Each structure stands twice: as C-alpha cells, then as structure tokens.
Structure 1
C-alpha cells in the first residue's frame, strides 16, 4: 500500500474515548476522518470531528463497507468487534491491524495459551466448564482467585472473587455463560503497562513503562515513569518485544503487567488497540500513542520514544465536575481534556507534568482529586 498523507481519509471503527482521541490527533495532523456513528454518540464531541459520517452500528458489514469505500485506511479502537466481519473487511480494504489478533485477545484461554507458548509468566489458571472443575482447580490454584467468563466483553458483574470456601456455595451456581477461567489472584501487585508500536516492516518501539491504579475495574490514575527499578523496566521491554514479534498485528497495542513485592512479573493481558493507560503519554512523550498509531497505519516514518517529563493523569468522572472546574481556574500548568464521548456519560482527563512524580501526587491530593 502507498503512504497515506494528510488530506486523505482515515476511517475509524469505534465509539469510545480512544476513537475520539484518535480522531482528534488525526485532524491535528491534517487528515480527514470518517466514522460509523452509533445512536449512543450522536451529537457528541466525537461526531463534531467527523468529515464523513455513516450512521449505523459497528458490527453491520454494509456500514463497514461504506466506511471502507470513503477511506484510504481503516483502523479500530474497539477490541470487542466481530473478528469475522473485520476479516472480511480486510480482504477488500486496507486494515493494517488485521483481525487475527482478536481471536487471541478476545478469548482469555487463547490469550493465555499464546503467552504460555512464549514462556511468559502468567497467573496460574484453570479452565472451568462445570462446578466440579472449580473445586478441583482450587486445590492447585488456592485462595483467593477470580472466576471470569472465557470470552472478554462481559461486565464485571459476571466475575466472581473467591476468597474462601464459603464463597464457592454462592458462586458455583453462577456458570451461566458457558466456559470460564479460574485465575489466581496476585496480592499486593503493582499494576504496570507498556504501549508497543509495531510497524509493517517489523520495527518495534516500546514506549515508557506506565504505572496504573484501578478502582472497581475503572482506570483511576496513570503515572510515568513507573516507580520501578531498571531491571524490571528492562524485562518488561524484553517481554513487550517478544509479544510484538509474535503478534499478528500492525499499529499500537498495549500489554498490562502485575509486579509482585518480590519482583515477579506476570503478564495480565494484551490490548489490541491504543489504550486508556497510554493517555498519560500525550503530554510527556515526544509523540502520543495516537500519533504513533497514525504514523504506523499511514506508513510514515517512526522513530524512538523520548520522555520529556514525568506525568500523572487522572480519569475524570461526572461527580468530579465541580472540582475540576475549580482547578481549571487556578492550575495554569495542568492539562484538561473534558468531552462527552457518549450521550449519557461525561468522560475526561486531567494531567500534570513535572520533573518528578511525588510533587504531582501531592498536588492532586491537595486538590481532593486523588
């Protein structure tokens, strides 16, 4: 495929914050943006960026084909799209990310097999089909552990945290979604991630390691550089390169990790698109993850990553709106990005940068934001 230059059209398949951020960067770089607009994102900040709007659903092949017809390159930000539809789409239109990666990342078992085949450390797990499997797996995995549907995409309400034998009595009857994975809980783990850039030529660039904090499955905070030693950073970069070499994918993807207090590293999961944890890099790195992704899929030159400053990012919820508005009036050096991606939920980011992490944490704490 030829190089895709500014002025040409990028078709974005997604209706989430990542789609909005990618469209924002594409417009900033001079590209036109086309997208399928679902009912949930009508009249939002995302639709205001779109040059060519196709109304419909993301898993409607007719709409996907219309998007392909008006775009020079297609990209997706939704990791739960129908793999078969994207495979069909890739046969007719330029979709650098491909669809094969989704068969690995959408299925927890296949993802673990992929990582196991690379001799990568993952939390102990077992496949669960019936109640007896849970009791047998507990004998080897032990407590605590987590029961999850094998297919990703189901909400947190379908996951069960099993802390003691009495929990089995109420959870064993909840196997309503077919096959599950029972996974060992990694206690007191530091959560880390790294965004990986993979080019069509095979070139791989790893971005700086990010430290994350989650609250009830929602990203609460990301900071960079992660508070880890150089040996851990080196090993995470090695694992990221190893995964990137074997993953059938072009573009930016993420890998999440657990780091235990005794310095054991476990891979948590692979994210086959740019990811929210990488947003802290937007104001700290020479190029954001979105610009890297656009450069790769448009076949522009990609260089090494350079961290210009430390950074801390918080996800903003609707209940924090008044607090954030106050900070907007008194924090001239903070970066605020508030936007409505879906009609019923306000999503935003606030990022602070500096020479070191600790003063940034202290400033957020003083503002009652963290």
Structure 2
C-alpha cells in the first residue's frame, strides 16, 4: 500500500477502520487523532465500561487477553494497533496468520513484553544496554555484585511498568527483601549506571521503511514514574544525534511499524545506553500534541496505515509536559484553584472516574520561549489543579 497523493490519502483514510486494543488515555488520544484525520471508524477493546476512549470511539467491553473479544474487534476493523503491551500475543498472531493487519507486529510485541528477551535482542544487535544477568537464585545476585558492585536493580522480566516490578539493591542486606518483594516472578538483574539524565525519543516507521524522529527529551522521574518531560532535552547536539541514531538503528532491527517510545540513559561520561522500548505512544511524547507540527498520535496512525510521515518540527522553542498523578483514592473531581494561561497551558484530563494514588489522571503541556520559564509555569499549573 503506497498512498502518495493528497486525494488518494483522503479517500484511503475515509474508508479505513481503526481498531485499538486498550481504551485508556493512550487509546483516547489515538482515537482523537483518528477522528481528526477522518478515519471511517474507531473501535476500542477495553475491560472497563465507559473507558476514557469511549467518549470518542466505539467500545467493545472485554479482556485484552480474550481471543474471542480480540476477534470481535478484528471483525469490525481493517487495521489493529494497541496502547498497552500486556495483551494476548498468541491470539494476535493467530489473527495475523489469517490476514489481519496488526502493527506493531505480534512478533515484535513478544520480544518487547519480556524485558529480558528485549535486552537479549538489543545486545545481539550491538545496541548499547546496561550489563544484565538472568536471576534464578540469591547466588546469581551475589555473582552480579562481585562483577559490578552495588547498587543493582532487580527487575521482573514480564508485566512491569512505572517501576512496578523493580527493586533496588544497595547492598547485601537488601537482597532478601528484593526477592520477597518480587515474589516468584521471572527475574533478571541490571547494573546501576552513574546517570546524568534519562532521555527519551519518539520514533515512527511505516511499512515502506520510512522513519521520522521527534526531538530528544529529558524525562524527570519520581518513584520510578515519569513526572515531567522537557523538550528539547538540555543536551549537546552530538548527544541528540547519537540518541536519534541509536533509536533509528533499533527500530530498523526490530522492523517496527508504528510509533515507539525509546527510553535511554545518559551516564556522567556522556555515553548513551538504551533502557527499554515502548511499542506505542508514550508519556515522553505527549507534549507533541501542542508542541510539534505532527503529534505522536497522528504519526502513529500514519505509520500503521503506511501513509507518508509528516514533519515533527517543534512549534515553540520549548515545551514541558507534567503528568497529573492521583494524590488520593476516591471519586475523581477536577478543581482549579486559579485560572491558567490559556494561550500557553494545555490541560488534558483523561476522564477516569476514580482517582488513585499515582494513577495517571491527565497531563498538562506548557509551551513557550525557554525551558526554565516553561518548567516553572508547568509546576505552577499543576499545583493549581486537584483531581
């Protein structure tokens, strides 16, 4: 499929039905982008009735791991994509074998789902990753400590996100508690690098192999959750180019189709290490809705439908995204203590009915002329909002 002319592109979009596995905030923003572009229909599969994406898309209520529900979604759409990794890859593989277009592919998703297998893939293709070892006993952790010293990070191979599934080991006394915390999950251990910054880059690739990268950003974390994103990252041009090169090589090796959030570590010696890959839109790209000529969500749709990728140039010198995390447990109630600058501050509330501590309830993007000023304004806007 090669859609070249604007009229052909519009006709193709108007007859193409998009299916999204997962109807949370990412599914919502993909759906909004799909509606804006004019796709024939958007259908999401999500287990929660009236999920966030249901405000702009049709919803099938069902488990993301249920082969019957996944087939029901496939029957109503032309192309499937997803907003979350924790889904049934075998069911997706079966659908793909029958001719369903699914992007990124189930084969790629199977690599990404297991973070140890992801590291193995990257290491085999000479992508720089922090030293790591599979763990089956205390002795394996002790061996890692002899090789690399402390601190170390014990990680679950599967179903880990936002720090859930990680346990830091600062010394021998922490080993037992780390193992107890992660239970009987499959584990691996990783050397802690001497970090300067955590970087991220969104990169899209379509079926023709055309790629498009967004600016490199800096991610600021608290409790292992991305709290703030600074765009562009305050790093040298050489670092930006090296990050883009690593991301491009990685997605080419994976033969990825769609958009990918590539998370990286920059150590204090100026070396970049790839941390992990999200095969979907990502927190580090939310700023692109207002901050770039094309948003990560539109670019994802263009990539999975094999349309031409469009420019990602920033529209402002600086942009900051601030995650809105829940601060209590209970019904969600949005309240602003004071008004905000509507020209430069853009709140996105995801419509989740219940707030929970550290649950992602929305985000705020602020744009302007300088990172320091924009970052202060983002913090002020977040402080004025309760939810």
TM-score (norm: length of structure 2) = 0.88
Match of 1:79 among 74, 81, 85: 85
Q: Is the 1:193–1:254 Cα contact (8 Å) retained in structure 2?
A: yes
Q: Is the 2:23–2:52 Cα contact (8 Å) retained in structure 1?
A: no
| Structure 2: gaps of 5 or more residues | 4-11
Question: Structure 1 residue 70 and structure 2 residue 84: aligned?
Answer: no
Q: Give distance in 2, aligned partners of 1:112 and 1:157.
A: 18
Q: Give distance in 2, aligned partners of 1:124 and 1:108.
A: 13
Q: Give distance in 2, aligned partners of 1:187 and 1:221.
A: 21
In structure 1, the residue corresponding to 2:377 is in which secondary structure?
helix
Aligned position for 2:369? 355
Aligned position for 1:56? 62
Displacement of 1:248 in angstroms is 3.0
Report 1:139-288 matches (<5 A). Answer: 139-153=146-160, 156=163, 158-172=165-179, 176-288=183-295
What is the RMSD of the two structures over their aligned residues, measured on CA atoms?
2.4
> Which deviates more from structure 2 when the two are superposed, residues 269-278 or residues 343-352?
343-352
What whole-Å deviation, never above 9, does each CA across 1:224-277 have from its counterpart, x for those lacking one? Answer: 111100110111111011102111321111110011122111111011111121
Report 1:286-297 matches (<5 A). Answer: 286-297=293-304
In structure 2, the residue corresponding to 1:259 is in which secondary structure?
strand
Q: Is the 1:186–1:260 Cα contact (8 Å) retained in structure 2?
A: yes
Aligned position for 2:95? 89
Q: Give distance in 1, aligned partners of 2:308 and 2:211.
A: 12
In structure 1, the residue corresponding to 2:230 is in which secondary structure?
strand
Question: How many pairs were matched up?
Answer: 367
Q: Is the 1:281–1:289 Cα contact (8 Å) retained in structure 2?
A: yes
Aligned position for 1:24? 32
Distance 1:224 1:335, change over 3 A: same
Distance 1:7 1:134, change over 3 A: same
Q: Give distance in 1, aligned partners of 2:182 and 2:80.
A: 37
Q: Give distance in 1, aligned partners of 2:288 and 2:335.
A: 20
Displacement of 1:87 in angstroms is 0.8
Distance 1:341 1:248, change over 3 A: farther
Displacement of 1:198 in angstroms is 0.6
> Which deviates more from structure 2 when the two are superposed, residues 60-69 or residues 181-190?
181-190
Q: Give distance in 2, aligned partners of 1:308 and 1:157.
A: 35
Displacement of 1:170 in angstroms is 3.4
Q: Is the 2:20–2:44 Cα contact (8 Å) retained in structure 1?
A: yes
Q: Is the 1:128–1:181 Cα contact (8 Å) retained in structure 2?
A: yes
Aligned position for 2:7? none
Q: Is the 1:149–1:177 Cα contact (8 Å) retained in structure 2?
A: no
Q: Give distance in 2, aligned partners of 1:174 and 1:343.
A: 27
What whole-Å deviation, never above 9, does each CA across 1:141-187 have from its counterpart, x for those lacking one? Answer: 21001111222337845432110122224335566324311111123
Q: Is the 1:80–1:153 Cα contact (8 Å) retained in structure 2?
A: no
Q: Is the 1:220–1:315 Cα contact (8 Å) retained in structure 2?
A: yes
What whole-Å deviation, never above 9, does each CA across 1:258-304 have from its counterpart, x for those lacking one? Answer: 11122111111011111121101111111000000111222222234
Distance 1:8 1:328, change over 3 A: farther
Q: Which has the higher contact order (CA 8 A, sep 6+)?
A: 1
| Structure 1: gaps of 5 or more residues | none
Aligned position for 1:313? 321
Aligned position for 1:364? 378
Q: Give distance in 1, aligned partners of 2:353 and 2:94.
A: 28
